[in-house]
Amino acid sequence: MITVRELYHDYTGKGPYAVRDVSFSIEKGEIFGFLGPSGAGKSTVQNIMIRLLGLQRGQILYEGRSIRDMDARFFNRIGVSFEHPNVYGKLTGYENLKYYAGLFSVPTQDPLRLLDAVGLKDAAHRRASAYSKGMKQRLVFARALLNDPDILFLDEPTSGLDPVTAGTVKHLILDKKRAGATIFLTTHNMYIAEELCDRVAFLHEGQIVAMDSPRSLKLRYGERSVAVEYEEDGQVKKDIFFLGNEGDRRSLNDVVAGKNVQTIHSQEATLEQIFIKLTGRRLA
């Protein structure tokens, strides 16, 4: 279990805080999503949790043990996939994994098997500098799995990937969860969060503004709505009508009665809409 309590961080020492009073806990085997737009403080929290940034104020506990008491062996337990692909361009994909594996004092996975799992088997012996951004992203993801970590930190793991490859990566994340790994997922992609996360926290201007399972958040903050596509003046128009709103309900009746309706779908609020409702800002 990971516990974060009253976390603050100030980059300059002169204020303001980039992260303020952030508290949450993650159960073993849970996928916890950290959602927020750029600059919200997501990476700051993750960087403190993986010791890239010093712990200034607050507490971070791994199974009750403070991060301050951890030595370099702590890194044998975690895997980190960075948002920006950071690999040695002069080395091949295989060499990137092979030499990185040599840094761990725990058993590591076969680099070629991992490369195969992320669809890079054929490119294993090509220099990473010749990889596309998506291929580098997958290489970084594979590197995070090398030491078979029981805590995985994933920063925008599907960013820049085509839908098929993103699907492969999502499956691997769910496999890790099934194997018992705890996963901290940082993203501004609400679909990924909805699909993968057991719970999510919305981060806005360095503070958590809401935290729960995606379904509970929708039930608590979302509004049911109906999306209707209809013909008007020879053109197809689309409108969303919120059922809790008296005016919207009347408008919906008028459209259904008086227009040539092409499609009609009921829909629930998205995490994005909830985020906008809570913060007034979009996620992306």
Partner 1 sequence: MLGRYVSLFQQDLKVTLRNGFSYVVLILAAILVAVVDFAVPSEVKLTPTELFVDLTEGRVFESVLRREGVEEARILRSREELTREVEKTRSGIGIVVEGDLENPRFTVIHQGTEAPENLNLLDATLEGLVRVMRGAESPTGSDIEYLRPRAGATPVPFNKGLVPLIVVFEVVMFGFMVVAVMVFEEKQEGSIRAIRVSPARPLEYILSKASVNVLLALVYGALVVTFTVGPGVDYPRLFLLIGAAALLMTLVSLSVAVFFGNVSEFLFVAIVFMAVFSLPMVSYLLPSFAPAFVTWIPSFPVVFGVREILFPTGKEGFLAPMVGMVLAETAVFLAASHWAVTRKLMREGR
- In three-state secondary structure terms, 238 is strand
Q: How far is the CB of 190 from partner 1 (least distance, A)?
A: 26
Q: How far is the CB of 24 from partner 1 (least distance, A)?
A: 21
Q: How far is the CB of 72 from partner 1 (least distance, A)?
A: 5
Distance CA 284, CA 281 (A): 9
Task: Tell me whether residue 129 or residue 267 sits nearer to partner 1 (CB atom).
Answer: 129
Task: Tell me whether residue 106 or residue 236 sits nearer to partner 1 (CB atom).
Answer: 106
- H or E stretch covering 259: none
Q: How far is the CB of 256 from partner 1 (least distance, A)?
A: 55
Query: What is the chain's Cα-based Rg?
Result: 22
**Residues of this chain that bind partner 1 (CB under 8 A):** 10-11, 13, 47, 50-54, 56, 72-73, 75-76, 78, 80, 82, 84-91, 95, 99-105, 127, 140, 143
> In 47-124, where do the E strands start and end?
57-62, 65-66, 78-81
Task: Tell me whether residue 102 or residue 163 sits nearer to partner 1 (CB atom).
Answer: 102
Task: Tell me whether residue 52 or residue 236 sits nearer to partner 1 (CB atom).
Answer: 52
Distance CA 127, CA 117 (A): 19
Q: How many CB atoms lie within 10 A of CB 136?
A: 21
Task: Tell me whether residue 71 or residue 233 sits nearer to partner 1 (CB atom).
Answer: 71
Instruction: Establish whether the linkage from the previous residue to 16 is cis, with ω within 30° of 0.
Output: yes
- In three-state secondary structure terms, 155 is strand
Q: How many CB atoms lie within 10 A of CB 14?
A: 6
Q: How far is the CB of 42 from partner 1 (least distance, A)?
A: 15
The answer to whether the CB of 186 falls within 8 A of the CB of 18 is no
Q: How far is the CB of 8 from partner 1 (least distance, A)?
A: 12
Task: Tell me whether residue 38 or residue 260 sits nearer to partner 1 (CB atom).
Answer: 38
Q: β-strands 225-232, 260-267: how paired?
A: antiparallel
